[in-house]
Amino acid sequence: MPLPSIQKAVVVEKVGGPEVLQYRTDYPVLLPKETQVLVKNAVSGINYIDTYFRSGLYPCAKPEVLGREAIGTVVALGENTEKYGFRVGDRVIWLGTGGYAEYACVSAERVVKLPVGLSDEIAIASFMSGLTVLALVRETYNVKSGDKVLLHAAAGGAGILMTQVLKDIGAYVIGTAGGPEKVALVKSLGADHVIDYRSEDWVRIVKRITDNQGVDVVYDSVGRDTCEGSLECVKRKGTIVWFGNSSGPIPPLPLNLLSPKAVKIARPTLLAYITTREELRLYSDELFQFLISGKLKVNIHHIYKLDDIQQAHKDLESRKTMGKLLLRP
């Protein structure tokens, strides 16, 4: 089938609130450049990072089609993509940019074929979040059976997956979540203790649960609102992994605050762990195995239509969502 020249897409031309997300029906379909493939997106992931690019917290080119991941079908191959072995018609999942559109040109380096037996929705609901979780629990801090872990926003897209992976490793998981419904969901995933950090004194509770010793590692994607408490909750010689800014970025941290307990801190990003194709394969193969074996369940909050993207961002930023938000271009 010939490719269309225009498509539906959500475009951001200036930074701001959800209102800067413009739904358009006349956005050009570009042909893939060298080492790129063109994918017709079937379902895309909506991630918190999309709100950072929209708001200007993270820089990105403008105009920009947001959306860092999608699943779909290869419809055209750029030059010098032979070594990747893709063919037109392959069902693939990718990391890149352009998920908020019907078509995306993405680097073949960041495209992976999907194994049979996984639905589009389950695969995309776990892809970027799941790769992040695996890199964080294997490399940023290597979680071991018996480790005590504090995980914030445990009912979120990444949090739900991390709770299950941590339990699979055999860690003692203390999750935090906002509100009784979210707390119940995280408990149902097997977390050992779940605290409603919007209504409870979570720092005091973590200290009590750990006999005032603190936890081996804190995974904190909330950022500004939890950073001080996370420092209080980590044990002597423990580690804090700050990997997100859902409540805002962490203010500058005087390093001497780490000295009394000899705390280690990390501020990782997924892309730094998967710069080579081998690294991407390593984590995506492990993730697909988790999903196919049924050990990892995903929770899809809602699948939005492309012209409903403003509502999706509003829902995500107002803490109304549990699990992953998806977009059907």
Ligand X SMILES: NC(=O)c1ccc[n+]([C@@H]2O[C@H](COP(=O)([O-])OP(=O)(O)OC[C@H]3O[C@@H](n4cnc5c(N)ncnc54)[C@H](OP(=O)(O)O)[C@@H]3O)[C@@H](O)[C@H]2O)c1
Which residues of this protein are in contact with ligand X, per CB under 6 A?
Answer: 47-49, 128-129, 132, 153, 155-159, 177-178, 182, 221-222, 225, 243-247, 268-270, 316-317, 319, 321
The nearer residue to ligand X, 70 or 77, going by C-beta atoms, is 70
The nearer residue to ligand X, 40 or 313, going by C-beta atoms, is 313
The nearer residue to ligand X, 64 or 317, going by C-beta atoms, is 317
The nearer residue to ligand X, 269 or 289, going by C-beta atoms, is 269
Bridge partners for 172 per DSSP = 148
Farthest-apart Cα atoms in the chain, separation: 66
Q: Are 76 and 84 in contact (CB under 8 A)?
A: no
- Please name which of 18, 9, 95 lies closest in space to residue 53, comparing C-alpha atoms: 18
Amino acid at the residue 222: V
Q: Around Cβ 228, how many Cβ atoms within 10 Å?
A: 14
- Please name which of 142, 74, 139, 131 lies closest in space to residue 291, comparing C-alpha atoms: 131
The nearer residue to ligand X, 78 or 232, going by C-beta atoms, is 232
Tell me how far apart the alpha carbons of residues 245 and 25 are, in angstroms, rounded to a whole number.
Answer: 32
Strand locations in the chain (E) = 6-12, 21-28, 36-46, 64-65, 69-77, 91-95, 103-107, 111-113, 148-151, 172-177, 193-196, 215-220, 234-242, 264-266, 300-305, 324-328
- C-alpha 298: how far from chain center: 12
Closest separation in Å from C-beta 316 to ligand X: 6
Tell me how far apart the alpha carbons of residues 151 and 39 are, in angstroms, rounded to a whole number.
Answer: 35
Structure tokens at 312: 């999706």
The nearer residue to ligand X, 114 or 128, going by C-beta atoms, is 128
The nearer residue to ligand X, 40 or 54, going by C-beta atoms, is 54
Closest separation in Å from C-beta 155 to ligand X: 5
